[in-house]
Chain A
Amino acid sequence: MKISLNGKQVEVKSRTLELLIPERGLHPDALIVEVNSELIKKEHWAKTIIREGDTLELLNFVGGG
């Protein structure tokens, strides 16, 4: 299915957020995830179903002043 991930249209297979993170080659530790502008806490990733057309933002903290 197609979703919007960090502003880009991508094709993904995973049905849940928990599975999607490794599918995208990302490490879950420091990741912050918004699905359709709603922040999803890590404990809810396994039960968060990804649907066609969802908008995901995967964020993390970086160096900044």
Chain B
Amino acid sequence: MTAMEKDTLYLGDVELTSRLLTGTGKFASRTLIPAMLEASGSEMITVALRRVDPGATRKNILDYIPDSVRLLPNTSGARTAQEAVRIARIAREAGCGRFIKIEVITDMKYLLPDNHETLLATETLAKEGFIVLPYMMPDVTVSKQLHDAGAAAVMPLGSPIGTNRGLEMKPMIKRIIEGSKLPVVVDAGIGRPSQAAEAMEMGADAVLVNTAIATSHDPVMAGKAFALAVRAGRMAYLAEMEDKKMYADPSSPLTGFLGE
């Protein structure tokens, strides 16, 4: 357990204990968010920026996030690097801190990120002092380019946003993890705690889960379940589990019961 006690995640110069990042989208009631955060121990949560709804209530989403939890505003809605940069600047000016999740999407069917625009936005925002977490299509070369552009982590997708399909991109994510000097946060598509554990066992540094928690019947319990899975997966990774084998390998001595 000694290794585990010291096992913290750095995003930029910020130290996190929990490797489960969460999101504020799709909750049936926003009042579930603080309880989910407490149950899951998640220390960072995403929010989005939009034009105000004419019937907007006095309370906004930030009122449901405790001060101890860091905000990760996303640039959802951006279709170009320029739009992402604009959203990021507004979020910081509005008091959301230095973190920004870059999300540049033009493909509205699968909501897959545009790596080229994402890279451009990363370059600009890193220079402006943001702690940049780019949501990306898993690509080893782009991952290196994001590192060189000043990203604080890379966030390859497991599968399309909100699909609960898990690690469809597993082999590519694994290759990114093997070569990345940056933390790798698997973002999007993680629909079950087992899938979160799978990502962590493989060596992901963290996962970001929104839909699966928010749309469950009990988001508080689901948040806890994901937290346990992330922790179990991380511990398994640190324990360096042996590879799969083709043939049986006895766990009891192979000698006959009474000798020979």
Contacts and interface: CB of A to CB of B under 8 A. Distances in A.
Interface of A: 6-7, 24-27, 29-32, 34, 39, 41, 57-65
Interface string B245-257: 0000000000000
The bracket for how many chain B residues form the interface is: 35 or more
14 contacts: A24-B54, A25-B54, A30-B56, A30-B58, A30-B59, A39-B90, A60-B60, A61-B49, A61-B94, A62-B60, A63-B24, A63-B26, A63-B48, A65-B208
Nearest to B213: A65
A-B residue pairs, 4 tightest by C-beta: A64-B48, A65-B210, A30-B60, A65-B23
Contact of A59 (B52, B54, B62): B52
Contact of B25 (A29, A39, A60, A64): A64
Contacts of A39: 89-90, 93-94
B118 interface: no
Contacts of B188: 65
Nearest to B57: A27
Contacts of B60: 29-30, 60-62
B195 interface: no
A29 B211 contact: no
B13 to A, nearest CB: 24
Interface string B72-103: 01101000000000000110011010000000
Interface in B206-248: 208, 210-211, 214
Interface string B197-212: 0000000000010110
Given A26-B56, A59-B50, A60-B50, A32 B73 contact: no
Contact of A61 (B23, B27, B73, B210): B73
B51 A64 contact: no
Contacts of A57: 51
Contacts of A29: 58-60
Given A61-B47, A62-B61, A31 B23 contact: no
